[in-house]
Structure 1
């Protein structure tokens, strides 16, 4: 199945966020991070009962939520701002032998079972290659999403050292924590202020929590 890279050009003359985009890219370049504790109890239980791994489910659920939020799918193609139909998750695989990582990506698919199998295939084919980015080529509509499963952080802020070519979110999860039968996971969302405000990130996080509360509805076929 061809990789979905469909994008719609953004008409700056009619784009409601045009002035804010200019302000936050030219006059006061700004981004921000919001960190929350995500309740993963229902999803963790459902995955265990159905013998699924957590990480691909996490990647799938967040990617599916992003299809509902056009603000978070804005990139550039040849200096033209575009809005992609979907974003594909780009994540890291940890190598236990030398403590390095490799960056992989899996094509988003609206079917969890299809995405899950594609994830397993990608890890099997590329997961043992000790290079930074073994799966090529890299699509323009990949977004960064990962986890630091050893650390229960309260804040995570990625620091780019080159000019941004896209305005996709950077999403990072942390270590699971259990308290009185409730499992939580820290989740960080970093976004450029040019495309989203605190309201948009709050709505995104609220929907992510909703889908993690309702795994059968979002993961079941």
Structure 2
């Protein structure tokens, strides 16, 4: 069997999380959700100045930050557990005509401008197609779910996956921006599987994400 070079199988005997993975998948299957607020003041201002949309920047940033944390990229491929070098954001597109959504995905690019162009291309070509999936088809094996509820903000959001087997990627949900004392904040909810991600890894993620939002000039 030829395996994607971007997918590295995990050798359980050498994996520090092997016992935790077994416990949280076989003995006490556990997922959990953490809700935080991200300061998006500088990011939104910079994007507006450059005439860029927030949503594709949100997709790119989340995916980019996960690239630096192995535990966020653990998944299954052909029944084998491993770590993907890179994940692909899969996100809903909203249809104004019937108020439904369809799942679309865009291949990640290290260069933000290249990803932004891919996003614009995908939404233009497939954004109007209805159904559970858009006309682009089934997401890639390394796709994770990321979404946004733009109509209201929240303090807590809980995602229930009803026991989807062998799915370990995190899922993300953002909410409407909130203005407080001249700054803007975005609620962000992250649902993870305890077999692969602990609180420490979330700490790493949130700190890195906030830093990237404060300094968009480093990647725009």
Partner of 2:113: 113
Q: Structure 1 unaligned segments of length 5 or more: list them.
A: none
Residue 17 of structure 2 is matched in structure 1 by 17
Query: Paired residue for 1:97?
Result: 97
Unpaired segments ≥5 residues, structure 2: none
Given that 2:90 and 2:139 are in contact with CA atoms closer than 8 Å, whether structure 1 keeps it comes out as no
Shift in alpha-carbon separation, 1:148–1:160, aligned structure 2, 3 A: same
3-state SS, counterpart of residue 155 of structure 2: coil
- Tell me how far apart the structure 2 counterparts of residues 140 and 111 of structure 1 sit (CA, whole Å): 22
* Aligned-partner Cα distance in 2 for 1:105–1:138: 6
Matches within 5 A, 1:68-79: 68-79=68-79
Structure 1 runs of 4+ aligned residues shifted over 2 Å read 161-166
Deviation readout 1:44-78 (Å, 9 max, x if unpaired): 00000111000000000111001001001011122
5 Å matches for 1:28-107?
Answer: 28-107=28-107
Provide the rounded CA distance (Å) in 1 between the counterparts of 2:180 and 2:56. 24
Per-residue CA shift, 1:157-191, capped at 9, x if unaligned? 11112433321000110001112220001001110
Q: Are the counterparts in 2 of residues 5 and 86 from structure 1 also a CA contact under 8 Å?
A: no
The alignment partner of 1:125 has SS state of helix
What is the rounded CA distance, in whole Å, between the counterparts of 1:195 and 1:111 in structure 2?
Answer: 28
The answer as to whether partners of 1:5 and 1:84 remain within 8 angstroms in 2 is no
Q: Structure 2 CA distance, aligned partners of 1:157 and 1:129?
A: 28
Q: 1:183 aligns to what?
A: 184
TM-score after normalising by structure 1:
0.95
Is the 1:74–1:195 contact (alpha carbons within 8 Å) kept by the matching residues of 2?
A: yes
Query: Alignment length, in residue pairs?
Result: 216
Secondary structure of the 2:13 match is coil
Counterpart Cα distance in 1 of 2:41 and 2:218: 15
> Secondary structure at 2:12's aligned position in 1?
coil
Matched, 1:159 2:163: no
CA deviation profile, 1:112-134 (whole Å, cap 9, x unmatched)? 00000000000000000111111
What TM-score comes out, normalization by structure 2 length?
A: 0.95
1:20 touches 1:194 (CA, 8 Å); kept in 2?
Answer: yes
Counterpart of 1:185 in 2: which secondary structure?
A: strand
Instruction: Tell me if structure 2 keeps the 8 A contact 1:5–1:140.
Output: no
